[in-house]
């Protein structure tokens, strides 16, 4: 009687070789995928560098398509978010609190110098006298103690609009005042919140140099601030003169709207962010009353 030979036993060596072969196969597949990705990425970079204009145009077209869809979608949204929230809910109260601090109610006061209508006049918005007038309207360290119409619109910088109805102001004068007074505020803050809190000392921070006023400095300091701003004031002040009405310098077909400029800034604006409820001040019942107050200051 013949017996079948026993099956070949599976040894540890054969299992190890199979695992090793599988690992090598996976490594080769991963390396191939990596090479393919790098080749395509290199091709993309080459295309972008070779034809930047084409790629930029393509992205602009794609962005325009998405922007158009986004604008259409936005038209279907009600801006008054609170109508979707229950009355008295904490989320509703939080929204109203945020709206109190971040008002979208604006007043814009336009200011021009005589140069805007007469190029022979050389009065510049950045002249110390003009900036002082703008600063006086806004309120600064020099008129803070005045009466209701001589202390400026934003006479309380820390009240979040509860006393004067003004949350914030943006203007070239305001920016210059912030920069001029920044050194003193920085030194005091560093002393109070840095040195005294972190070191075992107790400095009298009130004895530190006060730094610049929250007011307009002299003309040399003004010129220095503007020069060191690297063109930041271009967004706040404009030179609106058209020096040659016979030339359409912007190529839009209209010869009367060019702003070639005469090198003198002649137009600016004070943008005032107002509290959404002026009645909290106790002095002005609504926006009409607050705006009339601004007019009285002017």
The 10s digit of each residue's pLDDT in 163-200 is 999 999 999 999 999 888 877 666 556 555 554 455 44
CA distance 285 to 132: 30
CA distance 216 to 294: 21
The pLDDT of residue 28:
80
Mapping DSSP to helix (H, G, I), strand (E, B) and coil, where does residue 238 land? strand
> Looking at the predicted structure, is the pLDDT value of residue 287 above 80?
yes
The answer to whether residue 10 sits within a structural domain is no
Q: What are phi and psi of 66, to 5 degrees?
A: -65, -40
pLDDT, tens only, 230-275 = 888 888 898 888 766 667 666 777 666 656 678 899 999 999 999 8
CA distance 258 to 242: 5
The answer to whether residue 76 sits within a structural domain is no
Mapping DSSP to helix (H, G, I), strand (E, B) and coil, where does residue 273 land? strand
The answer to whether residue 195 sits within a structural domain is yes
The answer to whether residue 131 sits within a structural domain is yes
> Looking at the predicted structure, is the pLDDT value of residue 284 above 80?
yes
Sort strands 237-238 and 166-170 into parallel, antiparallel or unpaired. Answer: unpaired
The pLDDT of residue 86:
64
CA distance 96 to 115: 44
Range(s) of the domain holding residue 157: 105-297
> Looking at the predicted structure, is the pLDDT value of residue 83 above 60?
no
The answer to whether residue 130 sits within a structural domain is yes
What is the band of 20 on the pLDDT scale with cuts at 50, 70, 90? confident
> Looking at the predicted structure, is the pLDDT value of residue 73 above 50?
no
The answer to whether residue 32 sits within a structural domain is no
pLDDT, tens only, 134-159 = 999 999 999 988 898 999 999 998 89
The answer to whether residue 227 sits within a structural domain is yes
Report how many domains make up the chain: 1
Structure tokens at 251: 């190529």
DSSP H or E stretch at residue 167: strand 166-170
Q: Is the separation of the CB atoms in 166 and 153 below 8 Å? A: yes
The answer to whether residue 59 sits within a structural domain is no
Side-chain-side CA neighbours of residue 290 (13 Å)? 27
> How many Å separate Cα 155 from the centre of its chain?
24
């Amino acid at each position: 009687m013949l017996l079948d030979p026993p099956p070949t036993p599976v040894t540890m060596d054969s299992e190890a070789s199979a695992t090793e072969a599988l690992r090598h196969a996976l490594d080769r597949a991963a390396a191939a995928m990596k090479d393919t990705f790098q080749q395509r990425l290199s091709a993309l970079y080459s295309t972008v560098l070779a034809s930047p204009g084409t790629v930029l145009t393509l992205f602009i077209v794609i962005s325009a398509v998405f922007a158009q869809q986004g604008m259409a979608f936005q038209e279907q949204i009600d801006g008054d978010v609170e109508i979707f929230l229950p009355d008295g809910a904490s989320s509703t109260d939080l929204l109203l609190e945020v709206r109190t601090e971040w008002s979208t109610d604006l007043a814009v006061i336009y200011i021009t110098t005589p140069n805007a209508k007469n190029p022979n006049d050389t009065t510049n918005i950045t002249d110390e006298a003009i900036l002082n007038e703008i600063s006086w309207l806004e309120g600064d360290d020099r008129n803070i103690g005045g009466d209701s119409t001589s202390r400026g619109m934003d006479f309380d910088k820390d009240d979040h609009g509860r006393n004067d109805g003004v949350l914030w102001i943006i203007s070239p004068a305001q920016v210059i005042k912030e920069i001029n007074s920044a050194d003193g505020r920085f030194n005091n803050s560093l002393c109070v919140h840095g040195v005294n809190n972190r070191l075992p000392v107790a400095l009298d921070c009130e004895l530190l140099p006060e730094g610049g006023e929250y007011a307009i400095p002299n003309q040399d300091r003004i010129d220095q601030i503007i020069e060191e701003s690297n063109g930041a004031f271009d967004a706040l002040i404009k030179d609106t003169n058209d020096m040659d009405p016979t030339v359409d310098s912007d190529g839009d077909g209209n010869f009367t709207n060019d702003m070639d400029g005469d090198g003198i800034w002649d137009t600016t604006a004070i943008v005032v962010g107002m509290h959404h409820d002026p009645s909290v001040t106790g002095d002005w019942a609504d926006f009409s009353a607050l705006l009339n107050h601004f007019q009285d200051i002017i």
